[in-house]
Amino acid sequence: MPTTREREPARPAKFSARGVMAFFGDKRVLHGIDLDIPAGEVTAIIGPSGCGKSTFIRCLNRMHELIPGARFEGTIELDGSSIYGREIDPVLLRRRAGMVFQKPNPFPTMSIRDNVLAGLRLTGSLDKTRAEEVVEFALKSSALWDEVKDRLKQPGIGLSGGQQQRLCIARALAVEPEVLLMDEPCSSLDPVATARIEDLIHELKSRYTIAIVTHNMQQAARVSGRTAFFLQGELVEVGATDRIFTAPTDSRTEDYITGKFG
Amino acid sequence: MSDATVRSTKTRRGAGLGERAIELFLGACGVLSLFTTAGIIAVLAFETWAFFREVPLSAFFFDTEWTPLFADKHFGIWPLLAGTFLTSAIAIVLALPAGLLAAIYLSEFASARMRRVLKPALELLAGVPTLVYGYFALVLVTPLLQRVIPDLSGFNALSSGICIGIMIIPMISSLSEDAIYAVPNTLREGAYALGAGRLATIFRVVLPAAASGIAAALILAVSRAVGETMIVAIAAGQQPRLTLDPRVPIETMTAYIVQVSMGDTPADTLEYRTIFAVAAMLFVVTFAMNLVSHRLARRFRVAST
């Protein structure tokens, strides 16, 4: 019986990536990634800077291809159907997989309320009679409601960094995605704001499939059920977070999590 | 030890003297523009004051005729203001959409190669001498328009306005493009990640974020259109007329100043002083717009950081 090999994840795969290669111009930054993101669970992707972890999750919602000169090879399936098929509209895909970025990026010309509704407005799918309901739902889901409910008309950029990031999470949740892709969402936040976002991830994981990129190993250990370790564009190891941090099978994983490099 | 200290202090002092001289010279260069502006304002104010000693303010602002060169003299500024407003408005109506769309295309759609060709080509428009635009309006645009609008006069506000518009397109497009370019890419990514299409992203996220920069560009362009002289002097006519009809000859503030200062009006007469009163008016209008534009541009810089 293989003890060091990971058993298949109990949950079905939401995203299933096979042979994913990503390029910037002629430079290949991902060298064939096979990785499943199981449904209804938090998957953390860790690794040193430049290992391709951000590029990988940007392939999941096809944001990678927006960069001039960027290219993708391989297959990624969402719920069993390819997202890179010719008939797939990346715009519709992105509504199913929301994204939160490294630096909070609320729209500076919009109020808190309008920021939350931005996704629905920009896609022309806002039902005006449901607007208040959506705003309240999204802000409550992102644990921001109590702090901003009395100043929804004020500009979103007037909030603190941590609040802005939760506003961006609310904005992503308002379009009712199935997946939340988080690209180092706490890298520009202080420890208190980081803790709030991590609490929030715990609350959200029952409702959404979450993939979070982080360079902070403690964070990965705190929030995720599964962890994938990337190094120089390759997936070194993936498995239950507990096991990755206590009994990694690959020496490179061990060197990284024990702080020998990175 | 004291010897060395003294010597080193001396050299420092020598260097300080040279530095001070250079500093003074540079300062003088900087102050030169300040003095020029002050000089212009002083001359304008002095002559305008002399003008208003003879003509009451009420005659200037409440009369609706401008005939200072005729026997029956009227000094109402409104016909000249209307002429300037008309040509500038036509110019802006043409140049704002054209310039803005060009800026959007250049910053959001054009390939790097297209940009390399288009941007200098567009900026070349701004380098064409305005005299050329004036002839262009008079001998090409007006005759062409007359085929469509039969009762268009040989001199008219329409073709001058169109040519001023063409002239200021590069100004609007270039400054707007800077403003659009300065919008952080994270905002575009934020919009795309929400499932927004390209047009929605540009028109509802990027343009609003660049709005104050675009407004600053617009106001600078308006003030350029208001001050434009050669095109209107050649192609718009010399008939101060209180009208908003773009088909008939009119006269703008600038064209009037050209007419009088190039003509045989003797200096130190009331007729001659009228051009300073008009110039003061023009100065106030463009100065006010430049102030607003500065303020907007500053707000825009704050917003984009």
Query: Which residue from A minimizes the CA distance to B207?
Result: A109
Q: Which domain holds residue B171?
A: 78-304
Q: At what angle are helices B253-262 and B78-104 packed, to 10 degrees?
A: 120
Same domain? For B15 and B129 the reply is no
Quick check: is B174 in a domain?
yes
Task: Pick B195's closest partner by Cβ from A108, A123, A168.
Answer: A123
CATH number at residue B94: 1.10.3720.10
Residues B86 and B42 occupy one common structural domain: no
| CA–CA separation, A207 and B49 (whole Å) | 76
Write the Ramachandran bin of A25: left for phi over 0, alpha for psi from -120 to 50, otherwise beta. left
Q: Classify residue B63: in a domain, yes or no.
A: no
Co-location of B123 and B252 in the same domain: yes
User: A95, A107, A165, A169: best mutation site toward chain B, by most B Cβ within 10 Å?
Assistant: A107
Nearest residue in chain A measured CA to CA from B303: A108
Q: Which of B277, B253, B280, B289 is nearest to B86 (CA)?
A: B253
**Structural domain contains residue B274:** yes
Residue B72 belongs to a domain: no
Are B124 and B190 in the same domain? yes
Residues B193 and B116 in one domain: yes
Alpha carbon of residue B240 to chain centroid = 22
Pairing of strands A179-183, A27-38: unpaired
Query: Which residue, of B13, B39, B54, is where some domain finishes?
Result: B54
One domain for residues B120 and B237: yes
CB contact under 8 A, B194 and A101: no
Q: Which of residues 135-194 of A touch B (CB under 8 A)?
A: 168, 171-172, 175
Q: Sketch out chain A's domains with CATH numbers.
A: 13-105+178-257 (3.40.50.300)
Residue B17 inside a domain? The answer is yes
Token code pair at residue A84: 């890179």
ipTM of the complex: 0.91
Residues B149, B162: Cα–Cα separation, whole Å: 15
B165 within some domain: yes
Let me know if residue B59 belongs to a domain. Answer: no
Q: Do B186 and A103 touch (CB under 8 A)?
A: yes
Cβ of residue A107 closer than 8 Å to a chain B Cβ: yes
Residues B294 and B154 in one domain: yes
Q: Which residues of B touch A175 (CB under 8 A)?
A: 194-195
Report CB contact under 8 Å: B195, A63: no
Tell me the pLDDT of chain B (305 aa) as tens digits: 445 455 555 555 556 788 899 999 999 999 999 999 899 999 999 999 999 999 999 999 998 899 988 889 999 999 999 999 999 999 999 999 999 999 999 998 888 899 899 988 888 888 899 999 999 999 999 999 999 999 999 999 999 999 999 999 999 999 999 999 989 999 999 999 999 999 999 999 999 999 988 998 999 999 999 999 999 999 998 999 999 999 999 999 999 999 998 888 888 889 899 999 999 999 999 988 888 888 877 776 555 44
Residue A31 in tokens:
């060298």
Best of B115, B194, B207, B302 to disrupt the A interface by mutation (most A CBs within 10 Å)?
B194
From CA A168, how far away is CA B294, in angstroms rounded?
32
Q: What is the pLDDT of residue B305?
A: 43
CB-nearest to A95 from B190, B195, B303 is B195
Closest by CA to A224, choosing from A173, A191, A176, A182, is A182
Residue B302 backbone class (left: φ over 0; alpha: ψ -120 to 50; beta: rest) = alpha
Are B94 and B48 in a shared domain?
no
B141 and B20 assigned to the same domain:
no
Using an 8 Å CB-CB cutoff, list chain B residues near A108: 187, 209, 303
Q: What angle do CA B89, B91, B92 make, to 5 degrees?
A: 65
User: Which residues of chain A are within 8 Å of residue B190 when distances are taken between CB atoms?
Assistant: 101, 105-107, 168, 171
B182 and B263 share a domain?
A: yes
Separation CA A54–CA A174 (nearest Å): 23
Number of domains in chain B: 2
Which of B193, B205, B209 has its CB closest to that of A94?
B193
Confidence at residue A2, expressed as pLDDT on a 0 to 100 scale: 38
